[in-house]
């Protein structure tokens, strides 16, 4: 990116100098139609959420910006890297290839996830790559805030997402969804645009997910 022509250049310089330049938001999203569609079509709820988040994040340019050697690069596409629980309650990092077509994404992801469940590893998060979106599910807790661990040097500008246990409330099903980003490349406005995009995905699952079949889990 041409930083001199970037309207946020001053903000970039300000926030990248902070000791801790990250912000985090947590909001409930309505997954009523989404959950019903997933259960009816016998899809994996977790995998469908991973896809919806990746789809929404790719639609907001700021979620594809990364800080690299003092500059900012914009990826054409970014891919989900999510935690997967294996045996003995040990999780691994599983990097998936994002495909806008959910059936194609689900088929490739199911094989990769099965491999990770058989042998969980924490070296799978894409060492040396920054074209990723880090994700994790905490399905045992319906939380109201979340903070991810990260390295401060060099600056880690990969966005992070977490979602918890969904809850039935007044005829609606809501899911807590947390977003964490580097303030030098994105603001609250961009996080709000992401939430709008992902809520749209959750509201029209038939259009977004189609008729794919993926293992439950």
Report the SS3 class of residue 80.
strand
Within 8 A by CB and 6+ apart from 30, the residues are: 172, 173, 174, 175, 199, 202, 203
Neighbours of 192 (CB within 10 A): 14
Active site residue 182: no
Neighbours of 129 (CB within 10 A): 14
Return the bridge partners of 138, or none: 164
Residue with tokens 């930083």: 3
Report the distance separating Cα 134 and Cα 149, nearest Å.
Answer: 11
Q: Are 131 and 79 in contact (CB under 8 A)?
A: yes
Report the distance separating Cα 181 and Cα 25, nearest Å.
Answer: 9
Candidate list 37, 79, 182, 183, residue with the active-site label: 183
Report the distance separating Cα 176 and Cα 30, nearest Å.
Answer: 9
Structure tokens at 102: 């959910």
Report the distance separating Cα 132 and Cα 188, nearest Å.
Answer: 20
Within 8 A by CB and 6+ apart from 169, the residues are: none
Give the residue numbers annotated as catalytic, written as ranges.
183
């Amino acid at each position: 990116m041409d930083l001199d022509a970037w309207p946020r250049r001053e903000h970039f310089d300000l926030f990248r100098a902070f000791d801790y330049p990250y912000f985090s938001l947590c909001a409930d999203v309505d997954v009523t139609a989404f959950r019903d569609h997933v259960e009816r079509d016998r899809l994996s709820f977790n995998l469908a959420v991973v896809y919806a988040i990746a789809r929404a994040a790719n639609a907001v340019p700021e979620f594809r910006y990364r800080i690299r050697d003092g500059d900012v690069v914009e990826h054409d596409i970014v891919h989900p890297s999510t935690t997967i629980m294996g045996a003995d309650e040990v999780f691994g990092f599983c990097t998936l290839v994002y495909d806008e077509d959910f059936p194609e994404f689900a088929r490739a992801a199911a094989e990769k996830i099965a491999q990770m469940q058989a042998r969980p590893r924490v070296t799978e998060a894409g060492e040396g790559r920054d074209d990723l979106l880090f994700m994790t599910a905490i399905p045992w807790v319906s939380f109201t805030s979340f903070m991810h661990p990260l390295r401060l040097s060099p600056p880690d500008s990969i966005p992070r997402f977490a979602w918890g246990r969904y809850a039935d409330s007044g005829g609606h099903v809501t899911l807590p969804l947390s977003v964490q980003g580097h303030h030098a490349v994105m603001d609250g406005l961009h996080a709000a645009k992401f939430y709008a995009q992902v809520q749209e995905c959750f509201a029209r699952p038939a259009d977004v997910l189609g008729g794919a079949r993926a293992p439950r889990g």
